[in-house]
Structure 1
């Protein structure tokens, strides 16, 4: 990180001559005149300065200029003293950052002030005071570096703080929209959203590896955010974490169900989250529909994973039967309990799931699990023996699939 001169560092020239001090002293009577001139005339040439309100120019900017001029003159009188109080410079830098003034405009205003002060010194100097004038210019430029450092440091810090506050406010609005704690219409207005929109649920597998750290998590989230920003409309908003999250984007006219944008996101997110990324998109006709759409999208992903579908883009039409079967009712506990005999055998549960997904193809199941086909046969036989489910029959197949989905919903 770039470092700047410390405001407390003594930048004064150790031996200013009496002639240099006398030349500077003759400018003291011109402080107010120079301040008004800079605030009203010289700075007007700077981009963005003219947009400042007149009272800011006449009061804040003029006062800052007077402070800078008097600080310079005081340091000339007391060359062995501290480099001066940069508190007002810092305060104004923070204000300009909050108001949105560009940093280059702020720094150019300080440089312009140095030039105007140099002109005033030059106008006051006689031919015999050329050496004294050189001393003061050298002294002036030495001190200017510390001022610029203090101003830049404060501006950058304030911008970082404001940016963090905006991001957190944005996340709070999205979170409130999704959980219903913020009125949907207000959230839409502040987020600059319009209906209908697509609510996309992202699910990223947690990669095994070293214990995650806050730094690593923040880096991952920034990468996810960058991918989402590039792959969606510029008006998209999101709430992302290391396990995924939600993206809300205006519904494209040519992509009503969100499959196209989901597939584009899935491809891009694969570079960040690996091969296990899952997405589901659901339409929300109005702001009030967003929370339900978000819950439905998450359920679609959960259902697709529960019935053994491979990672990718999942829409309701892709899992409509499984989604229906996984909705709990009075019979749910009885059906889920059918798998209780193999609850402590994850190898059997996984085999059942993959076998159903591959439509009872023993060889495809073996390839997916890295097993020998005979091992698959033995496991299916053991499942039938323990649960009493004949998964080859239509009824047994439906019961096994429903039990798996209900079990996963209960665990999730």
Structure 2
């Protein structure tokens, strides 16, 4: 297939400036052009400045020469680069992907080369070469189009392969950690390091408003939410998180460079901030249970994080990060047994009077402040007083007194555990 400009269906001869064929000018200037392209890459594309000298003056220089040579052949013949030349450039792009060079840097390198070729040609153009300038410019853009497609396809084919291997490695290590298998052996097999500790997150993710919109695919909306959640998680944690997530939640293991006993308040604060950002970006509530564990203790930690999250949900805690110290009382009270049943029975009579039960809950959440409770419930403070008196008459527990307030809080936790039906096992 010819890409040379035609006039009236007749192929045109190779373009010339000032009577000299352009492919000859570029061929003769190849060493100078190559040096200029390399200098610009080092100066203007930072990743090339970090490459070892032998790579830059060896492999990268050969790739630049091949690219310019391909354009020289296109100027001479009017045909696009053949498959052999394209294969070499595609393989070079794949190597850059394997090395972690950004695709924009690779594409920009070809644009720099094309610019230098164009500058070299235009330096010899005269006023009589307008048509030839147009032809040469068209060929430059056609060449860039072909190179961009070739380079990007080679780059992303390799990147997908690398990502697939990385994902397989992470999933293999995650499975070994959760199942209590030989984690060091699994990690070594895949070439991954195992940190001294993981911050274990059990996540329950609510629905995004788009998932309920008429005409919007809930599956697509959920996938978009999940993608944003994953990106935000990776952005806020150090290292690579091991995850098993779906649209409604899942598990995340965050690597930590200290042992579990030395995880700091700052570490937990940073993780809580990450969860808050994930919630904001995902556009959905996130309830998270968290704990820290050495690799060999991850199976038990996964169970504990899930239980903490369930207890936080059942006890009406707000969305966000919750640890065992945050729900100690509720966690203990929600464990099945005769004591829990007796506690739940203390407050169960209010289940037939939801306005009284809601008022008792709100009063406790508002720190035993009747005015804050009234504001929260959007009722008059006198209404709060009346409802609390009625609750005390029915249950024989006065939540306005210190002793009974503790018993009522415990009874509510036990009642919520019964309702949730998913309390931690004894």
TM-score by length of 2: 0.61
- Give the drift of 1:296: 2.1
1:268 aligns with 2:271: no
C-alpha separation in 2, matches of 1:310 and 1:25 = 71
The equivalent of 1:250 in structure 2 is 256
- Give the drift of 1:305: 0.9
C-alpha separation in 2, matches of 1:172 and 1:333 = 44
C-alpha separation in 2, matches of 1:19 and 1:355 = 85
The equivalent of 2:80 in structure 1 is 84
Aligned residues: 374
Note if contact 1:307-1:353 (Cα within 8 Å) is conserved in structure 2.
no
In the TM superposition, 1:12-411 aligns within 5 A as 12-14=5-7, 24=21, 27=24, 37=31, 43-45=37-39, 46-47=41-42, 48=48, 51=55, 54=58, 65-75=68-78, 84-85=80-81, 87=83, 90-100=86-96, 102-103=105-106, 104-113=108-117, 118=121, 136-160=132-156, 169-179=165-175, 180=178, 184-185=183-184, 186-187=186-187, 194-209=195-210, 210-211=212-213, 212-213=217-218, 215-232=220-237, 234-235=238-239, 237=241, 239=243, 240-245=245-250, 246=252, 248-250=254-256, 255=264, 258-272=267-281, 276-284=285-293, 286-326=294-334, 354=361, 401-402=413-414, 404-405=416-417, 408=420, 410=422
**Does the C-alpha gap of structure 1 residues 194 and 299 become closer, same or farther in structure 2, counting only changes over 3 Å?**
same
RMSD: 5.5
- Unaligned regions of 5+ residues in structure 2, if any? 43-47, 397-403
Q: Deviations over 1:291-322 (max 9, x none)?
A: 43333222211111112333343211222343
SS at match of 1:319: helix
Note if contact 1:231-1:265 (Cα within 8 Å) is conserved in structure 2.
yes
**Does the C-alpha gap of structure 1 residues 56 and 358 become closer, same or farther in structure 2, counting only changes over 3 Å?**
closer
C-alpha separation in 1, matches of 2:115 and 2:145 = 12
Q: Deviations over 1:236-263 (max 9, x none)?
A: 5253544345250425767258432244
SS at match of 1:294: helix
TM-score by length of 1: 0.63
**Does the C-alpha gap of structure 1 residues 317 and 411 become closer, same or farther in structure 2, counting only changes over 3 Å?**
closer
C-alpha separation in 2, matches of 1:221 and 1:242 = 6
Q: Deviations over 1:25-75 (max 9, x none)?
A: 9949x96x777x4797565434338625846755x6655544432232112
Q: Deviations over 1:345-381 (max 9, x none)?
A: 9x79x96995897699897999877897688999999
